[in-house]
Amino acid sequence: MIGSDPTSLQKEPAICLPVRSPAEVGTKAGCLFARFSFLVRKARLLVRNKKQKTNKRKTFLSARSVCIATIPVAVAFVTTIAYGQPFLPGHKAYPVLGACESSEDAFPPGRYLMIKDPINRLSQDYHSTVSSIVEAHLKPRTIRCTEDVREVPSGELSALAAKLPPWKDSEDRTGLRETDIGVVLLEYLRVYECALNEQRFFLPSRVAQDVQKDSVVGIFDHLTTFGDRLKRIKQELFLARMTLDRTLTYLGGMDRLRPVDASLECLQRSSLDIRNILGLTADVSACLPRAWDARTSLRDPPNSSSGSQ
Amino acid sequence: MKIRIFLLLALIIWGTPELATAATFYERMRDETLQEMLLDRNLKPSVEDIVAEFVTKVVSPADPKISAGGVDLALQRKWNAFCTNKTTGEPMDIGFCTSYVDRIRVYAGAEERIRTLGRDLQLIAASYELPIDGYPGRVTTLPSRYKSLVNLWRAGHQESADQDGTFRAQPLPNDKDTLWKDLVKKLEESLDKLSKEERTAAVWRYQHGARFVAEERKEYPLPLKADTASLPGTERQYLFKRWDGKNKTENLEKALKELWNRLKTDAKNFQPPLVIGDIVFYPEIKLGDITGWVFLEVLPPISWGGAPVISGDAGLQWKNPMEPVLPALFSDKSPGIALFGGAYPPELRDGAGLCTFPFAKLGYLCRPIEQAAGIECDEEPGVKKTPGTITLTRCRTGTERMTDSGPNICRDVLWQTPPQGAEEQKQTASCAECKVIFECKAACGPKDGTVPVKDAKGEIKICTTGTRALPPLYSMMHDLVLSQRLCGAPAGTALYGKTDTAACCMVEKDAFAVACEAVQKDGLFDNTKTSILPEISLQDCVDYFANAACAKGTNAICTTKPVNPLRQKQIVDALGKAKLKSLSCQALTDPTKSPDPRLQGLRDGLKNICNPECQTKYANTIGNSMCYIGQCIEQSFEEHRLMPGRTAFTVQDEAFPWDSCAAADPAFASFMTPPPVTGTSFPSYRPGWIIQKIDTALCQVNGLPPQSAAILCETNALRRLEVPLETSLENTMHLINQIIERRHPAEQIKRLAPGLGTRVGTTLYVNYLRVAGRALGEITAIAAELLGNLTEIKFPTELCPRDGAGSKALKAHQLCAAIGATSAKPSGTTSPAPSP
């Protein structure tokens, strides 16, 4: 029964933060519910203490409790309408593998504004991102020995993973390791190829739109641009996969012993601790012949006041 | 205004990042793919400059001459520009020009494909070698990591009694060292002056060091000489080329050797001083995409009594080895002459210098895998050898590693740092409980003691002669082990009774085990295998000498059966040969030198380590600390626990009334068993089997059973003619489409092959690590459990009262509260509390 334990009033629920994503709607609802319950219990306690139990007040409190109880139902109803499916804890509001289409998260249109050609812009974005991730991978890494020998992913890798469907949820990124670079880059390549294929699919209309805006010549410009872009898309589809294949072949071979190396580094760190501990123990053990069997004649001789001892 | 200009510049740089930085690893991979696609960075059809130049030389002499730029025009299919004869200025026949363009494209494409294949193979090999080659500056450096762990855990002043040497790390000179900076700059400039092809070749040439190539490292086999197919003017010319300033070449060798010399001058100032076997490593010298490396190595003196020799080397390595030494396209001897090749790569031969690098020489390709005595010496145990198997390892059996504790723990390990200076030496001598004096004589008479006896002065005099079967070094090791047993005993104590053969065997076997192990480690029993008898084992040696020392007429007093007389002769002969080369007794007893660390280690075992008035110095390692702790525990057992008057009357009696109220024995480590010493083996390499698998896969892709040769599994191009379709047009179209049918499985196999290769490589790793890593893993787990247990020990803060203490004292004591309660007397007699 709500408010049956007055001592629980000592713990006031935290202030509910604003909702930032659909996944947080349920949390928010729960939080609001907890705060309202707290207020109700507080009010009841006050009422009880001041002995002002009037019928009107009882009616008011009952009505309010009913209202509060309907909030979660309302929230569930709203989310069902908004997202097409009921919200359930642990359930993602989006598929883990995204559709094969252009992604503004992975390729923000605001980047590389100076490059007008959309294929070149995509290409520049993709290759520079992969390049920075690979460079970061080749630099000295950070290992967390206390987290099951986890290699902390570089900032570049984490940033890219956060844009891709399988790791968009922060919960899914908690176990991300630097050694997952291959998986993340292959997923990024898939998204890139999808973006290129979408460009190819809509190429006639998009070229028509771009040429009409920028040129007055007409059909010849249209055909030239169309041909150039189509060729670039085909080149990129081969180039991107082949280059990543080569890169991952090299990194894969190189990283094959990386987990062993990481474990050995942790062993090395713990060995330093053990060395320090044993150094101190060795210092103490210098007195061991005296301390080992303290009941022998090596015990400190008795002073005059200790009698027979 | 200034801000606007700055922002504009920043925007330009931001928009074109390639202007701001050099090519990254990924960009170089992209460039390689673009080259494979016959494109340049701007995605225009093009080939590498050297390939374009090569194509101009290999077209038929009857064809019109073309320039390197003309090759690009052909690739770009710029007909108007290309199809004009450069000599006459007249347009070519359009039919001829078309075929000419196609030929150029085929030539350029074929050459580029070969070069791409070479780079791909290099990439795959490098990726596997990189983590284990041990060069400085690598992201994953397993060899140095292993060495670092060994350094942390080792027991001993030197890494081991085998004198493998200690690896040290030293920083490079700092920026204030102008000489160093100039030398590095000089090397960098020399490298920059080389052409791209020569630069690549130079780095690979000096990957094992400039001194090695210059034949200055006499401690190793000299480098290979160029064969006739590798001379200047051949496609292999860069494999053996030297950049030593001769024939107008850049003097890279001098620049590298100067770096080594500069660091060598610092060697005499190192603390602690370098000793024989030490190896000093330096961090990478950054030279752009190239890594410079230097190390120093201390070798034994050339002659006895001389100073140790500082060797080592300086060389080059790639940061990311992506570019191999490709077949040369132009002659180095006669510039402009194209080389047609066909003899690349050369057959692999031993002596390429792989084993000159300190980490590499510890690897399986450079030394045999050691198997413990009694373990079958098989390169890959349990695997039946199949034809076409390449075994990469050799195996040596009979190696015995003794780790059992004897009279002194760590007795044959030189774990203490030798005393420096007269004061320390004097103090050390005063801490020894005895003094062992070796008397070198031509022959030991009946009055000369050969079995150690401690006299009233605390001296143990031992006669040593060259006539004994064991060479003096090993004989002295044996004597020192015996002396350790007497050192703490009262003067005149006998090692064993004259008639007590059992005690004699026990003591002598222990002492001879140490000596014989040293003999075996020094390789004196190598190559003693005959058609009748296997190689002399450690046990053979111990049995023979123990019997000889304790026997009075019979031959098998310490063993169940007598040692084979042939074997006895073999042992005596092997040691007799060794005596000719071994150090003399006088040389070994020189107190100012320690010719063998094992001997010094045994001498250190005579010291009273745990005496609070004695100082003990040792390197801060886990093993050394454990040696110290172990020695203290041992002394504690030997000197205090068994004091007269404190022994229980019968077995399991309590020595003191409160023994029973002591906390239960936690029994830590009671159920722990050290992992057995398992032999390491490296899986065989079976390239023939891999090729068979790929052939089978090719047949499977085409839905056919495996055939030999696998090419028979390819789509039969003539099948349509055997079963023709209705119209000739359909037949023609089908024949054309067969190209796709043939190409499709070929592409599938091409994609499959790297995956298959990766799996085979991974299997090799897994099979190796499964054996090699298990022992390490188990030891680590045991260590972790033991150390975890140690944290659970609760130490009392007070001593138990001595016998005779009253009930109040007992009650006051936490540990003995129970017994205090039971023994409390109502009379209330009290005793003073014990002094803490």
Residues on chain A touching B127 (C-beta within 8 angstroms): 249-254
d(CA B750, CA B754): 7
The answer, yes or no, to whether residue B328 has pLDDT greater than 70, is yes
The 10 Å Cβ neighbour count of residue B502 is 12
Q: What residue type is A304 in one-letter code? A: S
Q: A130 at the B interface (CB within 8 A)?
A: yes
In this structure, what DSSP letter does residue B169 have?
Answer: E
Q: Please name the member of A275, A289, A296 whose beta carbon is closest to the beta carbon of B621.
A: A275
Residues on chain A touching B41 (C-beta within 8 angstroms): none
Mean pLDDT of B485-501: 79
Q: Are strands B279-281 and B285-287 parallel, antiparallel or unpaired?
A: unpaired
The answer, yes or no, to whether residue B263 has pLDDT greater than 60, is yes
The answer, yes or no, to whether residue A60 has pLDDT greater than 60, is no
Distance of residue A279 Cα from the nearest chain B Cα, in angstroms? 6
The answer, yes or no, to whether residue B301 has pLDDT greater than 50, is yes
Q: Quick one: which of B336, B326, B363, B411 has its CA closest to B116?
A: B326
The 10 Å Cβ neighbour count of residue B384 is 6
Residues on chain A touching B40 (C-beta within 8 angstroms): none
Residues B633, A134: C-beta atoms closer than 8 Å: no
CA-only gyration radius of chain A, Å? 34
- In A, minimum Cα distance to B783 occurs at A274
The 10 Å Cβ neighbour count of residue B771 is 15
Residue to mutate among B26, B31, B122, B322, with most A CBs inside 10 A, is B26
Per-residue model confidence (pLDDT) at position B382: 58
Q: Quick one: which of B494, B511, B492 has its CA closest to B549?
A: B511
pLDDT top residue among A306 and B561: B561
Report the share of chain A in percent with pLDDT over 70. 59
Mean pLDDT of B639-666: 60
Residues on chain A touching B613 (C-beta within 8 angstroms): none
The answer, yes or no, to whether residue B426 has pLDDT greater than 80, is no
Window from A164-173, A296-305, B104-113 with minimum mean pLDDT: A296-305
d(CA A209, CA A215): 10
Mean pLDDT of B3-22: 51
Residues A239, B37: C-beta atoms closer than 8 Å: yes
pLDDT category at B633 given cuts 50, 70, 90 is: confident
Residue B318: beta bridge partners?
B290
pLDDT in tens, A261-286: 898 999 999 899 989 989 998 888 87
The answer, yes or no, to whether residue A65 has pLDDT greater than 90, is no
pLDDT category at A41 given cuts 50, 70, 90 is: low
Residues on chain A touching B29 (C-beta within 8 angstroms): 243, 246-247, 250
Highest averaged pLDDT of the listed ranges B88-97, B390-399, B416-425, B643-652? B88-97
Residue identified by tokens 């002043």 is B157
Per-residue model confidence (pLDDT) at position A247: 94
- In A, minimum Cα distance to B635 occurs at A289
Per-residue model confidence (pLDDT) at position B159: 42
The answer, yes or no, to whether residue B430 has pLDDT greater than 60, is yes
pLDDT top residue among A37 and B505: B505
3-state secondary structure of B338: strand
Per-residue model confidence (pLDDT) at position B13: 47
Residues B149, A264: C-beta atoms closer than 8 Å: yes
pLDDT top residue among B749 and B555: B749
d(CA A229, CA A120): 9
Report the share of chain A in percent with pLDDT over 90. 31
The answer, yes or no, to whether residue B645 has pLDDT greater than 70, is no
Q: Quick one: which of B311, B356, B277 has its CA closest to B594?
A: B277
Residue to mutate among A115, A186, A270, A288, with most B CBs inside 10 A, is A288
Window from A91-100, B205-214, B579-588 with minimum mean pLDDT: A91-100
Per-residue model confidence (pLDDT) at position A306: 42
Q: What residue type is B377 in one-letter code? A: C
- In B, minimum Cα distance to A231 occurs at B43
Contact indicator for B344, B350 with CB cutoff of 8 Å: no
Residues B805, A299: C-beta atoms closer than 8 Å: no
Domain ranges of chain B: 25-128, 140-367, 428-611, 687-790
Distance of residue B75 Cα from the nearest chain A Cα, in angstroms? 16
- In B, minimum Cα distance to A259 occurs at B140
pLDDT in tens, B35-66: 999 999 888 999 999 999 999 988 887 888 88
pLDDT category at B372 given cuts 50, 70, 90 is: low
Q: Please name the member of B145, B152, B612 whose beta carbon is closest to the beta carbon of A272.
A: B152
The answer, yes or no, to whether residue B282 has pLDDT greater than 80, is yes
Highest averaged pLDDT of the listed ranges A37-51, A148-162, B488-502, B583-597? A148-162
Q: Please name the member of B29, B145, B762 whose beta carbon is closest to the beta carbon of A265.
A: B145
As a whole number, the mean pLDDT across chain A is: 74
User: Sign of dihedral through CA atoms B385, B388, B389, B394?
Assistant: positive
Tokens of B428: 């050390």
Report the share of chain B in percent with pLDDT over 90. 18
Residues B800, A294: C-beta atoms closer than 8 Å: yes
Per-residue model confidence (pLDDT) at position A159: 94
pLDDT top residue among B389 and B269: B269
Window from A77-86, A152-161, B234-243, B610-619 with minimum mean pLDDT: A77-86
Window from A143-152, B495-504, B547-556 with minimum mean pLDDT: B547-556
Residues B625, A300: C-beta atoms closer than 8 Å: no
The answer, yes or no, to whether residue B705 has pLDDT greater than 50, is yes
Residue identified by tokens 């990124």 is A173
Tokens of B98: 């078309």
Residues B140, A257: C-beta atoms closer than 8 Å: yes
The answer, yes or no, to whether residue A99 has pLDDT greater than 70, is yes
Q: What residue type is B814 in one-letter code? A: Q
Per-residue model confidence (pLDDT) at position A4: 39
d(CA B292, CA B315): 6
Contact indicator for B451, B507 with CB cutoff of 8 Å: no
pLDDT category at A64 given cuts 50, 70, 90 is: low
The 10 Å Cβ neighbour count of residue A273 is 10
Residues B626, A297: C-beta atoms closer than 8 Å: no
Window from A41-50, B212-221, B294-303 with minimum mean pLDDT: A41-50
The 10 Å Cβ neighbour count of residue B727 is 9
Distance of residue B140 Cα from the nearest chain A Cα, in angstroms? 6
Q: Quick one: which of A143, A136, A102, A94 has its CA closest to A119?
A: A102
Q: What angle do CA A184, A186, B757 make, to 5 degrees?
A: 115
Per-residue model confidence (pLDDT) at position A83: 46
The answer, yes or no, to whether residue B83 has pLDDT greater than 80, is yes
3-state secondary structure of B158: coil
pLDDT top residue among B711 and B482: B482
Window from A92-96, A276-280, A303-307, B520-524 with minimum mean pLDDT: A303-307
Q: A141 at the B interface (CB within 8 A)?
A: yes
Window from A89-93, B325-329, B412-416 with minimum mean pLDDT: A89-93
**Phi-psi sector, B2: left (phi>0), alpha (psi -120 to 50), beta:** alpha
In this structure, what DSSP letter does residue A57 have?
Answer: H
Distance of residue B550 Cα from the nearest chain A Cα, in angstroms? 35
Contact indicator for B441, B463 with CB cutoff of 8 Å: yes
The answer, yes or no, to whether residue B140 has pLDDT greater than 60, is yes
Distance of residue A65 Cα from the nearest chain B Cα, in angstroms? 54
Residue identified by tokens 């085979």 is B760
pLDDT category at B324 given cuts 50, 70, 90 is: very high
Window from A293-307, B224-238, B248-262, B602-616 with minimum mean pLDDT: A293-307
Highest averaged pLDDT of the listed ranges B387-391, B485-489, B800-804? B485-489
| Residue B178: HSE in the Cβ half-sphere, 13 Å Cα cutoff | 0
Distance of residue A111 Cα from the nearest chain B Cα, in angstroms? 10
Report the share of chain B in percent with pLDDT over 70. 79
Q: What angle do CA B631, B635, B636 make, to 5 degrees?
A: 115
The answer, yes or no, to whether residue B407 has pLDDT greater than 60, is no
Q: Quick one: which of B278, B286, B282 has its CA closest to B294?
A: B282
Residues A261, B640: C-beta atoms closer than 8 Å: no
- In B, minimum Cα distance to A111 occurs at B15
pLDDT category at A84 given cuts 50, 70, 90 is: very low
Q: Please name the member of A246, A261, A271 whose beta carbon is closest to the beta carbon of B622.
A: A271
pLDDT in tens, A163-180: 998 898 888 888 899 999
Residues on chain B touching A297 (C-beta within 8 angstroms): 643
Q: Please name the member of A285, A292, A306 whose beta carbon is closest to the beta carbon of B832.
A: A306
Mean pLDDT of A98-107: 85
Distance of residue A7 Cα from the nearest chain B Cα, in angstroms? 39
Residue to mutate among B16, B29, B656, B661, with most A CBs inside 10 A, is B29
pLDDT top residue among B520 and B449: B520
Contact indicator for B450, B557 with CB cutoff of 8 Å: no
Q: Quick one: which of A159, A162, A180, A181 has its CA closest to A171?
A: A162
Residues on chain A touching B15 (C-beta within 8 angstroms): 112, 114-115
pLDDT top residue among B207 and B777: B207
Residue to mutate among A261, A303, A304, with most B CBs inside 10 A, is A261
Q: Quick one: which of B544, B536, B549 has its CA closest to B561?
A: B544
pLDDT top residue among A232 and B615: A232
pLDDT category at A96 given cuts 50, 70, 90 is: low
**What are the two backbone dihedrals, phi and then psi, of residue B251, each rounded to the nearest 5 degrees?**
-95, 75
Q: Please name the member of B29, B131, B153 whose beta carbon is closest to the beta carbon of A247.
A: B29
Q: Please name the member of A243, A256, A289 whose beta carbon is closest to the beta carbon of B33.
A: A243
Mean pLDDT of B558-568: 80
The answer, yes or no, to whether residue A198 has pLDDT greater than 90, is yes
Q: A254 at the B interface (CB within 8 A)?
A: yes
Q: Please name the member of A260, A287, A292 whose beta carbon is closest to the beta carbon of B142.
A: A260
Window from A65-74, B17-26, B105-114, B653-662 with minimum mean pLDDT: A65-74
Distance of residue A302 Cα from the nearest chain B Cα, in angstroms? 7
Residues B835, A296: C-beta atoms closer than 8 Å: no
In this structure, what DSSP letter does residue B356 have?
Answer: G
